[in-house]
Amino acid sequence: MTSIQNAVEDEFGDVDRLAIYNLLPSTSPSAVLPLGAIVAIKEPYYKRTADGGLFVRVDHPTDFVPLKPGNSIIPSSLAARITKKSTSALRLKECGNSAFKSGDFETAADFYSDALEVAGQGEDELKQDLHRNRAAANLRIGRYDLAITDALASLLPPGNTSETTRSVNIKALYRAGKAAYEMQDFNQAKRYFDQALELDGGHKEARAEIARTVKRISEQENGHYNFVVMAKSATMQHSQLDHSSFLRRTKVSQTDNRGRGLFSTERLVPGDIVFVEKAFNVAHRDGENISVLLNLNTDRISLGTHNLRLYGTIDKIIWNPTFAKNYLDLFDGGKFKREEEPKVIDGRVIVDTFQVQSIAELNGFGCPRVKSRDESDTNEKSLDHETSTGIWLQASYANHSCLPNVTRAFIGDMMIVHAVRDIPAGGEIFMGYLSPDIPFAERTKRLNDHYGFRCHCDLCQAEAEVPKVAVEKRARLSKEIKLFLSTNRLNSNDIGMIPGAKKARARQLLVEIRETYPKALFEQLPRLQCVEIGLWVAQSAMVKPQYALGKFIDVLRDLGYFVTIKGRNVTVDRRGAVQRVHAVHAAMYAAQCLAAIGNEGAALALESFGKGVFIAISGSEDGFAVEFGRS
């Protein structure tokens, strides 16, 4: 909804308003449209304004190109107004250095580029300095591809062994290493740091960077993370974590009828890490500001962080062809022209904002501000939408199922994905785009409207056959249950005092809602609307542990876990399992009941099962003992 605007004049003296959209909110208007600047606009068009006038509208940031004096496409009448200052490359370099010192890295990079343009023959040393300095500036403003190219262009021939040569080459290699690290290309980063260290074994920074890079490589190859430490390190201020992705157990392949999909490369059992992925981009709410994205192509408006995600992604891919290629390879809905390689002009990737947005809409994930199941986050969650949104490239390839075989959790910008069920080597990995709690008809409509497909998972197939009268009855009962639960909150201290009539009412509601799931259809499937009332019934019966135990096992069955207890042995069949915190509650209470009746062995087994579900939905066991430890 917001744009940067100014008045512009063409070569005939006609004046119009110009509005540039889809720039990061932090962009300074005077930096984009400074007074007297000459700009080119590709494919300009007029848009009517609210006040009845017209303006020239730019939607795609690379459709707007500032022109430097001397550019041959500037009409002569305009060219006459600006004079090309003849400044030496050395002077421009000094301007760049002073901009760099004042923290204006973008301007610094511009000065170095100007200097490189005017630097003549015989100024090789100066050119190398300029490339090296521009590498440092590019590194600071996230233009990593360019930073590496510049760093390598600045390297002096290795034959020259003078102290100065050595010292500047170390700087260049160090910068190339840092840029490769930021691009998550850790093996390449390590090679650059190693080369820097070869030139000076005592280089402390390079040594520290190698130690850090080796950790990233180990995460990437072995999936060795300390998730508890990771969870403790994530905070509101620090949610972009210094970790790498572990993707070795998955690969992207073609499916029979769903386009591309994500597949496992090895056999996985429940609780196994399937993959761990660092976000491509995450957008968090901007303080109290309300952000609105108006999509003129789909006539949709979204509140929240979608616009920040869009601008952040554009900003990231415009200057990094490698990132652009990875991002633009995702499914965009099929309405856009696709290039094999991103088109790059003057170092910038030509970006279609609408394609970037379409990809984000089809592939984005809602995520918590800091981490999954973060208690401090509950206030914001009550707004009924996730507080942040992001893009995880590998996860984007997973197709949807209402009964996914993996569960995702978030710690900072890391997505941690665990297996729910057995997944054979080569088996397809399914994630949930929408919660199976959403009633079938609405879920089907939303999947179709937003993603353009119909789900054929076991749950949807069963739901499609439920008689209409049962569907209506379930909807009505769900409302009654919600009301009952909100007016009858359980307090563990006075469970023995609950009036019998209330307990009877709860049991009645549970029996009735279970009946809305026809036995023949749901024999192996979860019955999610029974879970919360089921937990209430079970908890309110805790004074009779043997009886309550059966009720908790029923709750687990409603969640799709078929639990059998034989003596001290517990087996859990997860064929219909849906991973929810309710499963942790039910398992831990069932363990308490088992302990109360003297079956400590089965109690421990159920506790360990509950802990497994907790880890899958939280990303780590951090907080488990505090929340669920047996008192």
- Residue 427: exposed, middle, or buried by beta-carbon count in 10 A (0-12, 13-18, 19+)? middle
CB closer to Zn ion, 176 vs 402: 402
Contact at 8 Å (CB) between 514 and 447? no
- DSSP letters along 138-151, please? HHHTT-HHHHHHHH
Cross-strand bridge partners of residue 277: 415
Q: Say whether residue 596 binds Zn ion (CB under 5 A).
A: no
**Interface pick for Zn ion out of 148, 455, 528, 563 (rule CB under 5 A):** 455
Residue found under tokens 């795609």 = 60
Could you give phi then psi for residue 439, rounded to 5 degrees? -50, 145
Binding range to Zn ion, per CB under 5 A, among 25-33, 212-220, 226-234, 457-465: 457-465
Q: Widest CA span of the chain, in angstroms?
A: 96
User: Residues 366-405: x/- map of binding to Zn ion (CB under 5 A)?
Assistant: ------------------------------------x---
In the complex, minimum distance from the CB of residue 434 to Zn ion, in angstroms, rounded to a whole number? 9
CB closer to Zn ion, 108 vs 262: 262
CB closer to Zn ion, 155 vs 434: 434
Residue found under tokens 């080119």 = 40
CB closer to Zn ion, 92 vs 460: 460
In the complex, minimum distance from the CB of residue 472 to Zn ion, in angstroms, rounded to a whole number? 20
Binding range to Zn ion, per CB under 5 A, among 390-398, 412-420, 453-461, 616-624: 453-461
Within 256-285, the residues that bind Zn ion by CB under 5 A are: none
CB closer to Zn ion, 77 vs 461: 461
CB closer to Zn ion, 440 vs 614: 440
In the complex, minimum distance from the CB of residue 405 to Zn ion, in angstroms, rounded to a whole number? 13
CB closer to Zn ion, 47 vs 400: 400
Contact at 8 Å (CB) between 192 and 179? no
Amino acid at 540: S
Q: Say whether residue 466 binds Zn ion (CB under 5 A).
A: no
Binding range to Zn ion, per CB under 5 A, among 5-13, 124-132, 176-184, 450-458: 450-458
Q: Say whether residue 344 binds Zn ion (CB under 5 A).
A: no
Q: Say whether residue 18 binds Zn ion (CB under 5 A).
A: no
Contact at 8 Å (CB) between 584 and 606? no
Distance CA 472, CA 63 (A): 52
CB closer to Zn ion, 24 vs 464: 464
Distance CA 310, CA 281 (A): 9
First to last CA, the chain: 53
**Interface pick for Zn ion out of 457, 470, 495, 604 (rule CB under 5 A):** 457
User: How many residues of this chain interact with Zn ion, rule: CB under 5 A?
Assistant: 4
- DSSP letters along 231-268, please? HHH--SS--S-S---B-TTEEEEE-SSSSEEEEESS-B
CB closer to Zn ion, 274 vs 455: 455
* DSSP symbol at 375: G
Q: Say whether residue 431 binds Zn ion (CB under 5 A).
A: no
Residue 307 tokens read as 């616009």
Q: Give the pairing of strands 399-400 and 428-431.
A: parallel
Binding range to Zn ion, per CB under 5 A, among 69-77, 116-124, 451-459, 525-533: 451-459
Q: Say whether residue 460 binds Zn ion (CB under 5 A).
A: yes
Alpha helices (runs of H) in 365-406, residue ranges in sequence order: 378-381, 393-396
Contact positions toward Zn ion, by CB under 5 A?
402, 455, 457, 460
